[in-house]
Amino acid sequence: MDERLTEACTVLHVDMDAFFAAVEVLDDPTLRGKPVIVGGSGTRGVVASCTYEARVYGVHSAMSSVEARRRCPHAVFISGRYWRYSELSTKLHELLHSYTPVVEAIGLDEAFLDVAGVRRILGPPTAIAERLRREVRDTLQLDCSVGAARNKLLAKLASEAAKPIATTGGRQPGRGVVVVPPEHELAFLHALPIRALWGVGPAAASRLAGLGVATVAELAAIPEEALCRVLGAAHGQHVARLARGVDDRPVVADRVAKSVGHEETFASDFHDHGALHPQAVRMADAVCERLREAAVRARTVTVKIRFGDRTTITRSHTLPQATASHRVVREVTLALLQAVDVGPGVRLLGVSASGLTSTPELHQLSFEDLERTAEPSEGGSSAAGNEPAWAEVEAALAAIRARYGQAAVAPAALLGGDGLSVKRRGDTQWGPDAEAGRPSSH
Report the nearest approach of Mg ion to the CB of residue 410 (Å): 48
Q: Which helix (H) or strand (E) holds 296?
A: strand 296-307
Work out the angle between the directed axes of helices 125-140 and 82-97 (0-180°, nearest 10): 140
Name which of 19 and 52 has its Cβ closer to Mg ion.
19
Contacts 24+ apart (CB under 8 A), 26-34: 26/141, 26/142, 27/84, 31/76, 34/75, 34/76
Sequence-separated (6 or more) residues with CB below 8 Å from residue 75? 34, 35, 36, 37, 50, 54, 57, 59, 68, 69
Please tell me the chain's helix, strand, coil percentages from 3-state DSSP, rounded to the nearest 5: 45, 20, 30
Nearest approach in angstroms of CB 145 to Mg ion is 8
Residue 392 annotated as catalytic: no
Q: How far is the CB of 86 from Mg ion (least distance, A)?
A: 15
Return the number of the residue (13 or 292) whose C-beta is nearest Mg ion: 13
- Measured from the CB atom, the residue of 109 and 289 that comes closer to Mg ion is 109
CB burial of 21-54 (b: ≥16 within 10 Å; e: otherwise) equals: bbbbbeeeeebeeebbbbbeeeeebebbbbbbbb
CB of 196 to Mg ion, least distance (A): 15
Q: Which is nearer to Mg ion, 142 or 242 (CB)?
A: 142
Closest to Mg ion by CB, 15 or 135: 15
Nearer Cβ to Mg ion, position 65 or 159? 159
Which of 54, 14, 280, 5 shows the shortest CA–CA distance to 140?
Answer: 14
Shortest Cβ contact with Mg ion: which residue?
Answer: 15
Q: How far is the CB of 49 from Mg ion (least distance, A)?
A: 8
Nearer to Mg ion, 89 or 151 (CB): 89
d(CA 179, CA 201): 26
| E-assigned strand segments in 31-88 | 36-39, 47-50, 76-78
Number of separate helices (H) and strands (E) present in the chain: 18, 14
Distance CA(375)–CA(379), nearest Å, equals 6
Q: Which is nearer to Mg ion, 16 or 189 (CB)?
A: 16
In whole angstroms, how close is the CB of 149 to Mg ion at the nearest point?
Answer: 18
Minimum Å gap between C-beta 211 and Mg ion is: 32
Using a 10 angstrom Cβ sphere, with 0-12 exposed, 13-18 middle and 19 or more buried, the burial of residue 251 is buried
DSSP 427: -
Nearest-angstrom CA–CA distance, 202 and 225: 21
CB of 256 to Mg ion, least distance (A): 25
CB atoms within 10 A of CB 142: 19
Residues 399, 374: Cα–Cα separation, whole Å: 31
Annotated catalytic residue within 53, 110, 185, 331? 110
47, 62 contact by CB (below 8 A)? yes
- 3-class SS of residue 7: coil
Enumerate binding residues for Mg ion (CB under 5 A): 15-16, 19, 109
Name the region of 107 (left: φ>0; alpha: ψ -120 to 50; beta: rest): left
The catalytic residues are 110
